[in-house]
Amino acid sequence: MKQVEFLNVVMPFKDKLYRLAKRLLVSKEEAEDATQEILLKLWANNTSMANYNNVEAFAMTMTKNFCLDRLKSKQAGNLKLVHSNYKDENTSLQNQLEAIDSVGWVQKIMEELPEQQKLVLQLRDVEQYELDEIGQLLDMKPTAVRVALSRARKEVRVRLMAKHNYGIR
User: In order of start, what are the domains of the chain with their CATH numbers?
Assistant: 3-74 (1.10.1740.10), 93-164 (1.10.10.10)
Pair 118, 79: CB distance under 8 Å: yes
Alpha-carbon distance of 118 to 20, in angstroms, equals 11
pLDDT digits (tens, 9 = 90+) for 45-55: 888 887 888 88
Of residues 61, 65, 47, the one with CA closest to residue 16: 61
Greatest alpha-carbon pair distance for the chain in Å reads 61
Distance of CA 62 to the CA centre of its chain: 13
Tell me: pLDDT of 104 over 50.
yes
User: What is the pLDDT averaged over residues 12-33?
Assistant: 87
pTM of the model: 0.53
pLDDT digits (tens, 9 = 90+) for 110-169: 888 898 998 898 888 878 888 998 999 899 999 999 999 999 999 988 888 887 765 555
pLDDT digits (tens, 9 = 90+) for 61-102: 999 889 888 877 754 444 443 333 334 455 577 767 776 777
User: What is the pLDDT averaged over residues 35-51?
Assistant: 88
